[in-house]
Amino acid sequence: MLLSCRLSLKIFMLSLCMVVVLGSAVFAAENVLNVAGPWGPKTLDIQKAGYVFKRLGVTENLIEVGQDLELKPGLAESWVVSPDKTTWTFKLREGIAFHDGTPLSAGVVKFCLERLQKKGSLLKAVPLENIEAPDDHTLVLKTSEPFAPLGAYLSMGETSPLAMSSFDSAGEIVNPVGTGPFIFESWKVKDHVITKRNPDYWGEKAKIAKVVYRGVPNAITRMGMLRAGDLDIAMILPPDSVASMEKSDKFEVFRTAVGRCRIVALNMAEGPFTDVLVRKAASMAVNRDDLVKYVLEGMGESATTLYPPMVYWANDKLKGFSFDQAGAKKLLDQAGWKDADGDGVREKDGKKLKVKLVTYPERAALPPTAEVMQAQLNDVGFDVELVVTQVDAAQSIRNRGDFDMFLVGRGLLFVPDPDYNLMKDYYSANTVKKGWGAYHFSNPKVDELLLEGRKVFKQAERKSIYDQVQAILMEEVPMIFLNYYVNVDAVAKGVEGYTMHPTESSYHLETVILKK
């Protein structure tokens, strides 16, 4: 009896080991790619936050953006604009199916765009008057006036078509069923998304079977997970991590210049920055070259205007503000701010030149940038209070106006056209609202130019218009432009084919191969 029990126990333990081994083999065979970035998904409704599912290849757009930042065919194989520039006709690719097997059709695209008009924010500023689907593969968009950037707007994740099975009976998105190389499988709010390969994808099929994307706000935690083998790709790491990563033979470091600028918004509703002399003084007090050299470890480029040189829309004739402490002090003197008591902090009308600088840690270089700026501004007579808090809390502070300076990493190419950011950030009707841009900035000439730029279809003419806008922003200084981004991603050895898109709108994980 005892022998029988021992034999049964051995058989059970052997079976258990075989299950564990087989389970491990199955997991390995699944070819799972583990990725982490600073932000997890907030919602399944891609029309409210489409970037996560677009980046992970669940959804696609009528128009896509190439590595060269040029618009190219996506789900639409072609499009034409009428002579009066108010009618856009798209021809959809044939033979494309959603992940549930239903066909992509113009009728479904029409439904999704009309829902976006009602429930999303992206198309609120677009003069889209009518959407028609005369047949399954033809979509016609009519605008009330010429709107040149429409094609670029249609490349943003919020406009991605979804199958009708994505919606519940109330019309809410409960399961994003797209057309991309990966199929949505599961998620946890602000934590992770799991996707799997779409075996029936119409384009280049993914090489990996599954992706587990985690939102890990702390960059040090992401690095630790990569070193521990819990991640294959750790995105958006601090520049000071590069040296240690490159010394190891376990990782490869990717540096990608992206369309993003570190910017300080100045409160123009109240406080010292209502005076343009104080705004200019603050900009001159910042040593941008030191920020790149010491904070960014040389990974980045000092900013002159809003757009980096890699972007067509950059005004390369502007020189920007040079580091000039003496000049900054002179401007503050002219503005009436003087250090009468010799304590190093300037005063005016009995009030100290005290300002609150707010930022967030999810983008790792922002807090140390703020610390260096704090010291540089103190050198010319500011008393800078530094507040570093989680991004949602930081934006809440910004939206209620409880700040003087707000340091952000501003993405510029989510819609690869200047209309999107310039209208959101600098058009006077928008600068008093919630957002990331200028705060209570108003300039009638800027408003006029921005409205004109939307109607002009010739590229060179549009660039001339936006060059003028950038020149006015340089003179008015509603923002301080610091430096342009180079994203740092670390990838475990054995991971091949990874690239970061300069718009940050797609990870193209379908090209990744695991050879571990």
Dihedral through CA 250, CA 245, CA 261, CA 156, nearest 10? 10
The distance from CA 456 to its chain's CA centroid, rounded to whole angstroms, is 26
Give the residue among 257, 244, 231 at the shortest CA–CA distance from 314.
Answer: 257
Q: What is the pLDDT of residue 8?
A: 41
The sign of the torsion formed by the CA atoms of 471, 475, 476, 477 equals positive
SS3 category, 387:
strand
Give the residue among 208, 203, 266 at the shortest CA–CA distance from 28.
Answer: 208
Q: Which residues contact 319 (CB under 8 A, 6 or more apart)?
A: 304
Q: What is the pLDDT of residue 17?
A: 42
Distance CA 338, CA 331 (A): 10
Distance CA 117, CA 47 (A): 9
CB 310 within 8 A of CB 502: yes
The DSSP result for 211-273, as a single string, is EEEEE---HHHHHHHHHTTS-SEE-S--GGGHHHHHHSTTEEEEEEEEEEEEEEEEB-SSSGG
Angle at 502 between CA 308 and CA 409, to 5 degrees: 60
Q: What is the pLDDT of residue 7?
A: 38
Q: What is the pLDDT of residue 16?
A: 38
SS3 category, 44:
coil
Residue 350 structure tokens: 């009995």
Distance CA 104, CA 410 (A): 34
CB 123 within 8 A of CB 141: no
Distance CA 289, CA 300 (A): 10
Distance CA 266, CA 286 (A): 14
Paired strand residues for 262: 409, 483
Distance CA 505, CA 502 (A): 8
- For the chain, 516 residues long, give each residue's pLDDT as a single digit of tens: 333 344 343 433 444 344 333 333 333 446 999 999 998 899 999 998 868 899 999 999 999 999 999 999 999 999 999 999 999 999 999 999 999 999 999 999 999 999 999 998 899 889 999 999 999 999 999 999 999 999 999 999 999 999 999 999 999 999 999 999 999 999 999 999 999 999 999 999 999 999 999 999 999 999 999 999 999 999 999 888 888 888 888 999 999 999 999 999 999 999 999 999 999 999 999 999 999 999 999 999 999 999 999 999 999 999 999 999 999 999 999 999 999 999 999 999 999 999 999 999 988 899 999 999 999 999 999 999 999 999 999 999 999 999 999 999 999 999 999 999 999 999 999 999 888 999 999 999 999 999 999 999 999 999 999 999 999 999 999 999 999 999 999 999 999 999 988 998 888 899 999 986
Q: What is the pLDDT of residue 30?
A: 67
Paired strand residues for 140: 89, 132
Q: Taking the model in full, what pTM does it have?
A: 0.90
> Domains, the chain, ranges and CATH?
60-166 (3.90.76.10), 259-486 (3.10.105.10)
Q: Which residues contact 428 (CB under 8 A, 6 or more apart)?
A: 441, 442, 443, 444, 446, 447
Distance CA 138, CA 159 (A): 16
Q: What is the pLDDT of residue 51?
A: 80
Contacts from 317-321 at CB under 8 Å and sequence distance 24+? 317/467, 318/470, 318/471, 318/474, 320/474, 320/481, 321/280, 321/283, 321/284, 321/286, 321/480
Distance CA 69, CA 501 (A): 9
Paired strand residues for 119: none
Paired strand residues for 211: 33, 195
